[in-house]
Every structure is written in structure tokens, then in C-alpha cells.
């Protein structure tokens, strides 16, 4: 009985030992698997963190060179926009100039951001630390915005150069425009450097004789003189702008004016404002 127990004893011991060994291996294996999962999680977290902060992969010198290169391109385009500015009223240049101002202000914000960023990748202002992961995409978006606004200003100025409004008031010659009686006519002539499709004209009417009130009783008609002339504009009064369709773009514009006033009145007419536009 004791021998059988003794034989069972070693077998039992071996089984228990094997069980303990298997448990230990299982525990060891479990620890290894757990360690692999944790290590994989840490590795993926690190890679994700690096991908979110890809902007920090570039050196300060590279980022500075890219910033100055972008601003140099924007400055050169801005100079071109200012040089190609055509003649005309300043109101039509508000949009391209506003685009340039916004673009340069955005570039200034990029410069302030570059100055505020420290070498170890931290903001000088503590409350902005939470947005550090968005710094790279935001800077890229602002840079694209600066370049886009500058190009839009260039395109707008190029359009105004070919189709913008031109002031030709000082280049209009008026003949027979003084001491006009009823049904008297005058000829207005202009030779614009850049032709347009429409003429906006403002004619001033004044009494030729002092102490007379012929201005309030005077109207006039306007029409284009020469080939392919349009219809007449009748019953016009002085001091109000009138739009004439020129049809094709002309290098010479002739406008005929006929006065209608009361008998005995004499008036003088002059061009107060003349502008061409598309």
C-alpha cells in the first residue's frame, strides 16, 4: 500500500509540477501577450502623436525659409498689382487693395506665430498648448489663404486694366457749346486710349446771360454721331448722368447734343463728367 502510494506520490507530484509549470507558462505566455498588446498600443499612440505633429518634423531653419519664400512671392505679386493699376476712379480699386491688405495681415500672423513658437515645440502662452496639434494644418491653411488672396487681387486688377472704368472728362472736346438757342447743337468728341462699350456722360447746363433763369426750362437730346449710331435720348436735364451704349469699342467717340429751351434764352453746356466702362 505504501509503495503504491509512493508511486502515486511521484506521479501526483509530477502532475502537480506539470500543472504548476503549465500554469506558470500560461501565466508567462499571458504576460508576454499582454506585454505585446501594451507595447503595440504605445507604439501606435506614439506614431499617431507624431503624425498629428508632423509640423515639428521640420527644422526651424526650414520653416523660416518656407515662410520667407512665401512672403517674397506675395510681395512680388503685390508689386505687380500696384504697377499695373490703370487710370480710373479709386472706388473700383477697393476690392483688390482690400485683398492685398488681408493677405499681408495673414502673413503677419504667420510671422508672429513663428516668433511665439519655441524650439522644444511649446507655445509661449500656456492656454494655447491644447491647440499645438493643429498648428501645422492651420499654418498651411493660412499660407494657402495668403497666396489665394494675392492671386485674386492680381486677377481683379488685370480685369480692371482691360474692362475697368476710365475717366475721360479732361479729354472731351466740345465745339459749339456756348450761347446755344432753341434747337442749337454742339458736338462732343473724345479719343480714348482704351476703348470701352459704354459711355457715362454728365452734362452741365448754365444760362449764357446773367440774371436769367433759362436753366430750369432747358432740356437736351443726346445721340451718337457717325456710323452705327444708336437711338436718341430725349428730354434730358443737366447735372444727371446719362449712359450711352457705344456698341463696338471705338477709338473715336462723337456725341451730338441738341438744346430745347424757351425762345429768347441762351445757354452754355459743358461736360461735367465723362467715363467709359464695360
Domain ranges of the chain: 1-52, 58-164, 167-277
Report pLDDT for 25.
Answer: 43
Contacts of 234 (CB under 8 A, 6+ apart): 219, 221
pLDDT at 143: 87
Would you state the pLDDT for residue 77? 93
Alpha carbons 194 and 103: distance in angstroms, whole number: 30
Name the residue among 200, 208, 237 with its Cα closest to residue 221.
237
CA distance 230 to 239: 22
Give the orientation angle of helix 94-116 with respect to helix 60-83, to 10 degrees.
170
Read off the pLDDT of each residue in 117-128 and give the average, rounded to a whole number: 48
Residue pLDDT, tens place only, 88-99:
788 889 999 999
Q: What is the DSSP string of 50-116?
A: HHHTGGGGS-HHHHHHHHHHHHHHHHHHHHHHHHT--SS-GGGGHHHHHHHHHHHHHHHHHHHHHHH
Of 65-69, 85-89, 145-149, 251-255, the least confident: 65-69
- More confidently predicted of 119 and 265: 265
Q: Is the dihedral of CA 190, 195, 199, 200 positive or negative?
A: negative
What is the rounded distance in angstroms from the CA atom of residue 252 to the CA atom of residue 202?
18
The grid cell for 230 is: 444708336
Say what angle helices 135-163 and 94-116 make with each other, to 10 degrees. 160
CATH of domain 167-277: 2.60.120
Mean pLDDT for the stretch of residues 170-178: 86
> Model-level pTM?
0.58
Q: What pLDDT is recorded for position 132?
A: 56
Whole-number Cα distances in Å, 42 to 3, 30, 37, 261: 57, 18, 9, 95
Highest mean pLDDT among 58-72, 114-128, 246-260: 246-260
Question: pLDDT band at residue 130, thresholds of 50, 70 and 90?
Answer: low
Q: Map grid coordinates 498648428 to a residue.
A: 135
For the chain, what percent of residues have pLDDT higher than 70?
A: 67
* Residue 144 grid coordinates: 494657402
Band the pLDDT of 117: cuts 50, 70, 90. low
Question: For cell 449764357, what's the residue?
Answer: 208
Q: Please state the rounded mean pLDDT for residues 270-278.
A: 89
- Which range has highest mean pLDDT (67-71, 122-126, 140-144)? 140-144
C-alpha cell at 116: 511665439
**Most confident of the ranges 85-89, 151-155, 175-179, 207-211:** 151-155
Query: In whole angstroms, what is the distance from residue 269 CA to residue 278 CA?
Result: 26
Residue 37: pLDDT band with limits 50, 70, 90: very low
Closest among 158, 147, 138 to 84, alpha carbons compared: 158
Output the pLDDT for position 81.
93
Residue found under cell 437711338 = 231
With a cut of 50, say whether residue 33 has pLDDT above it.
no
- 230 confidence band (pLDDT: 50, 70, 90): low
Amino acid at each position: 500500500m505504501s509503495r503504491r502510494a509512493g508511486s502515486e506520490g511521484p506521479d501526483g507530484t509530477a502532475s502537480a509540477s506539470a500543472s504548476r509549470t503549465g500554469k506558470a507558462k500560461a501565466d508567462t505566455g499571458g504576460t508576454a501577450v499582454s506585454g505585446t498588446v501594451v507595447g503595440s498600443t504605445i507604439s501606435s499612440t506614439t506614431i499617431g502623436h507624431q503624425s498629428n505633429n508632423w509640423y515639428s518634423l521640420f527644422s526651424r531653419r526650414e520653416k523660416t525659409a518656407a515662410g520667407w519664400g512665401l512672403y517674397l512671392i506675395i510681395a512680388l505679386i503685390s508689386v505687380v498689382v500696384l504697377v499695373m493699376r490703370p487710370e480710373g476712379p479709386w472706388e473700383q480699386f477697393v476690392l483688390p487693395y482690400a485683398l492685398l491688405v488681408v493677405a499681408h495681415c495673414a502673413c503677419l500672423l504667420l510671422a508672429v506665430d513663428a516668433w511665439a513658437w519655441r524650439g522644444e515645440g511649446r507655445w509661449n502662452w500656456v492656454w494655447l498648448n491644447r491647440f499645438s496639434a493643429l498648428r501645422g494644418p492651420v499654418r498651411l491653411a493660412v499660407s494657402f489663404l495668403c497666396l489665394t488672396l494675392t492671386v485674386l487681387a492680381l486677377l481683379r486688377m488685370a480685369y480692371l486694366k482691360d474692362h475697368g472704368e476710365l475717366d475721360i472728362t479732361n479729354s472731351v472736346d466740345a465745339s459749339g457749346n456756348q450761347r446755344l438757342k432753341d434747337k442749337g447743337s454742339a458736338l462732343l468728341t473724345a479719343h480714348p486710349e482704351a476703348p470701352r462699350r459704354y459711355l457715362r456722360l454728365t452734362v452741365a447746363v448754365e444760362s449764357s446771360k446773367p440774371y436769367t433763369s433759362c436753366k430750369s426750362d432747358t432740356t437736351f437730346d443726346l445721340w451718337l454721331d457717325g456710323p452705327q449710331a444708336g437711338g436718341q435720348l430725349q428730354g434730358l436735364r443737366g447735372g444727371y448722368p446719362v449712359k450711352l451704349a457705344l456698341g463696338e469699342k471705338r477709338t473715336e467717340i462723337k456725341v451730338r447734343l441738341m438744346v430745347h429751351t424757351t425762345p429768347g434764352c441762351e445757354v452754355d453746356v459743358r461736360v461735367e463728367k465723362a467715363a467709359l466702362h464695360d
